[in-house]
Amino acid sequence: MDHDMSDPAMAAALEHDMRDRFLVAVALTVVVIVFSPLGYDTLRLRPVGSLNVRNVIALVASTPVVFYCGWVFIGGAYTSLRNRVLNMSVLVATGVLAAWVGSVALMAAGEDTFFDAAAMLVAFVLFGHWMEMKSRRGTSDSLRALFDIVPPTARVIRAGQETELPTAEIVVGDLVRLLPGDRVPVDGVVTSGASSVDESLITGESLPVEKTVNDPVVGGSINRTGSFTLRATKIGADTALGQIIDLVQRAQNSKAPGQRLADRAAGVLVVVAVSAGVVTFGVWLSLDSSFIRSLTFAVSAVVIACPDALGLATPTAVAVGTGIGARHGVLIKDAATLEGIGALDIVALDKTGTLTVGEPTVTDIRSVAGVTEDDLLRLVASVERNSEHPLAGAIVKAAEQRSLELGEPVRFEAIAGLGLTARIEDHELAVGNARLLEQAGLSVDGLRPQAGDLAAEGKTVTYVAVDDRPVGLVAAADLPRPTARAAITRLKELGLNVAMISGDNQRTAEAVGRLLGIEQVFAEVLPEDKAEHIRGLQAGGIRVAMVGDGINDAPALAQSDIGIAIGAGTDVAVETAKVVLMRSEPLDIAAAIGLSRATLTKMKQNLAWASVYNLLAIPVAAGVLYPATGFVLGPQWSALLMSASSIIVATNAVALKKVESRLPGPRESEPSRLPPEAPATLPPATRAPTHEGWPSRSQP
């Protein structure tokens, strides 16, 4: 039985209707049981009135259960049969009507009835579907609660005037002013001011993120300290929160391949159930059994053949699995992806911005005798502050972290492909690659051994000369994220091969690969060639996941069997991928795969249990044990056992929550276990640009 859960109001109404029908069914089923053989023969209740009176009361109490509470199945079966489709609703309706109509026939013959079987079957199936709908709606409701946190009004600046307007009236391009404590109403970009913003609702990061001009801000986050103005870039359902809600709802309403198989199996089981009933009745009647016993066995076989557990097997697991993922920033776009992740053979990872922070950081300062590291760094940073080269920003940042006071050069000249020269504090400086110093007639032989060692580690080396004397080296590298090596280790523990794809030169890429424990490295790969490398990995039927964050990763994400867009990814990457990781956290890659495998295991367990249960239960209900043991499984017990199967399936799916304790939480920060050649202290992960490396000044 399928319901559209994409509209939250409709989903809530459907769930409440299912709950109300279930409660009515339970109340009336208790009455039916009291006046049925189950009540006075098995539960030892004192029979009330004559047999005819008890049958009439059971008929009156069970009729609304069947035709009001159970109409969701009977009506659904009628619609399905009109469309020539045999599904779960047809099976449920067949079992319920067989028990009810059979009881009416027995009542007319003056015999004990089993109206309780029909009533119990309706109540149990309603409960199972109510629980399914509740679990499917739970995650969407929690996410929509985040969406509702967006403030109802905002300070909007139009034509230079600040006005408080409803958030719904904000349009793209509007300027919105935020004060300390305000919630950000829409996605936007800071145009003036600065502040720290709590984005934990979206990214799971526990610490506030500093925001300055041109930095993106996510709707629903909280402005903590300063005030700033942002320009609205996305509103309403287009915001990050709106897209999260849409992704989760689509995932929970999609069908996994295993569920489609179960739906096809339901069509076969309708024929099996009806055939089992007809054959059972005919066989027992031909063996000179009484009409009543033959009818009892036939109805029991039909009732127990109702595979409601088969219908609940995958939706409950999918709902729980996607809900757990969403709470940990792992968004899985559809149920088929859950199954696809479980069959992966290799994970290919983009380097820059995925495994590394995506921007250079100063790692080493080597100076000659008589020159301190701070003096060298201060002079270099003073001239680099006027350069737009990515390495310049890293050097200036390193000086600021040491609280060095920078000077202002009186002459500055950038030389393309070599570096720069400048005059500062009565010193002539040359900062760049080895060729820059050699063209000035300076020998760099004394620095080459150290430069070679640093370059072998994948670091970019800048030579420094002061007053025509080579005085030192400054090395920088795009460092791995703190948890990158641990993430690679976890992927290998999951039995997956790991590859890295990078646009960097072979030496740098291999150095990062060694640092992280990745043996298969593809270097100097142009953006347009990444998809071709994925196709190469897929040769021979190997299933590949691609992890990336940039526009240049989108073709490879689309080509791969499972595309995974990581935290800082662009809109194009996120749209192309099948899994979206909200944080720039490599550990979440393994978490997504582990969660998907656990969910797939639960789906397989549920399907196997439901299928084997039916195969074994139908013969028992049909009476195969009766000749040898005298055992009769009445229709009411068939209904009870059928419901037990559904409860086992639902409970097994909910047990997925045990996996949640093993997922990386928003506060987890597992240090990288890096080899000795790595820097002792790694910088914290930051939001990364989507470039692949940067121009090198340093060919020693």
Q: Which residues are catalytic?
A: 350
What 3-state class would DSSP assign to 502?
Answer: coil
Identify the CA nearest to 499 among candidates 517, 524, 475: 517
* Cα 81–chain centre separation: 37
DSSP, residue by residue, 616-660:
HHHHHHTTTTHHHH-----HHHHHHHHHHHHHHHHHHHHTTHHHH
- Under the phi-then-psi rule, with left for phi > 0, alpha for psi from -120 to 50, and beta for the rest, what region is 614? alpha
Q: Angle 335-342/308-327 helices, nearest 10 degrees? A: 80
Dmax (CA) of the chain: 119
Phi, psi (rounded to 5 degrees) for 273? -65, -50
Identify the CA nearest to 96 among candidates 237, 304, 284: 304
How many angstroms separate the CA atoms of 29 and 115, rounded? 9
Give the sign of the dihedral formed by CA 455, CA 460, CA 466, CA 472. negative
Q: N- to C-terminal Cα distance for the chain? A: 69
* Cα 541–chain centre separation: 25
* Cα 166–chain centre separation: 32
10 half-sphere exposure, CB direction, 13 A CA radius: 6
Pairing outcome for strands 460-466 and 346-350: unpaired
How many angstroms separate the CA atoms of 604 and 466, rounded? 69
What 3-state class would DSSP assign to 546?
Answer: strand
DSSP for residue 566: E
Identify the CA nearest to 473 among candidates 450, 455, 439: 450
Q: Angle 291-304/115-149 helices, nearest 10 degrees? A: 10
Q: Which residues contact 218 (CB under 8 A, 6 or more apart)?
A: 184, 187, 199, 202, 203, 239, 240, 241
H, E, C per residue of 230-252: EEEEECHHHCHHHHHHHHHHHHH
Residue 593 has which token pair?
């795969």
- H helices present in 457-527, as ranges: 484-493, 506-516
Phi, psi (rounded to 5 degrees) for 174? -65, 145
Amino acid in the structure at residue 190: V
Residue 490 has which token pair?
């976890």
Residue 205 has which token pair?
């990061």
How many angstroms separate the CA atoms of 522 and 502, rounded? 6
Residue 355 has which token pair?
């495994």
* Cα 537–chain centre separation: 24
462 and 392 Cβ atoms separated by less than 8 Å = no
What 3-state class would DSSP assign to 467?
Answer: coil
